[in-house]
Chains A and B, each alone.
Chain A
Amino acid sequence: GQNIDQPTEMTATEGAIVQINCTYQTSGFNGLFWYQQHAGEAPTFLSYNVLDGLEEKGRFSSFLSRSKGYSYLLLKELQMKDSASYLCAVRDGDYKLSFGAGTTVTVRA
């Protein structure tokens, strides 16, 4: 099985940077995903890491260290619309995803 931990809540100011950490313990690993979920909506894909290192996509970046079982999602130049839950998910060898409980990010003006 998978055990995935991420902080429950984070608050940051508009224009700032926030880093959401995710640690995992898995019996198999085939990639790590980050999703964004606004309240009352479906999760949407943000990023994917399968090799160690940093993946950058506009204002969002995601980092993976497989040896440490650790990932983070970095949100830069925060905007009010970034207020949402961010879900860390690990994929096993059967292409099934296990999700963390999610981190709710609140952006203040």
Chain B
Amino acid sequence: IAGITQAPTSQILAAGRRMTLRCTQDMRHNAMYWYRQDLGLGLRLIHYSNTAGTTGKGEVPDGYSVSRANTDDFPLTLASAVPSQTSVYFCASGGSHDTDTQYFGPGTRLTVL
């Protein structure tokens, strides 16, 4: 693995179903993030984790949960998907220094019907 990966690439999901989006990074970054990107709204932060074992809520956390059991993995779970959660989801990771940027995974395109 090189960088940050996400799975699945795309998914069509029936409303009410549970879904976990996976994210793995091999850069040993402390911080990880989940964003959703919708047309005209830009990237919005869902949840974040500054270090393994801690998580925090972003701008749009409702309907989503995360866990950070180790440094590399940061899964995002939709407990009961709704159509408004149709979006492109990006995972990102970054270091802890002031000049550190965030590196983004390739994204997961999720459609909830």
> What residues of chain A have their CB less than 8 Å away from a CB belonging to chain B?
1, 30-31, 33, 41-45, 48, 50, 87, 89, 94-102
Contact = CB atoms under 8 A, between A and B. Distances in A.
Contacts of A87: 42-43
Interface string B22-52: 0000000001010100001111110010100
Contacts of B105: 42
B47 to A, nearest CB: 11
Interface of B: 31, 33, 35, 40-45, 48, 50, 56, 58-59, 90, 94, 96, 98-107
Given A42-B90, A42-B105, A95-B31, A50 B45 contact: no
Contact of B106 (A31, A41, A101): A41
Contact of A98 (B45, B99, B104, B107): B45
Closest 7 CB pairs of A and B: A42-B104, A101-B42, A99-B43, A45-B101, A99-B42, A43-B104, A42-B106
19 contacts: A1-B59, A31-B98, A33-B101, A42-B105, A48-B99, A48-B101, A50-B98, A87-B42, A95-B31, A95-B50, A95-B96, A95-B100, A97-B102, A98-B59, A99-B35, A99-B42, A99-B43, A100-B42, A102-B42
Given A99-B42, A99-B43, A44 B98 contact: no
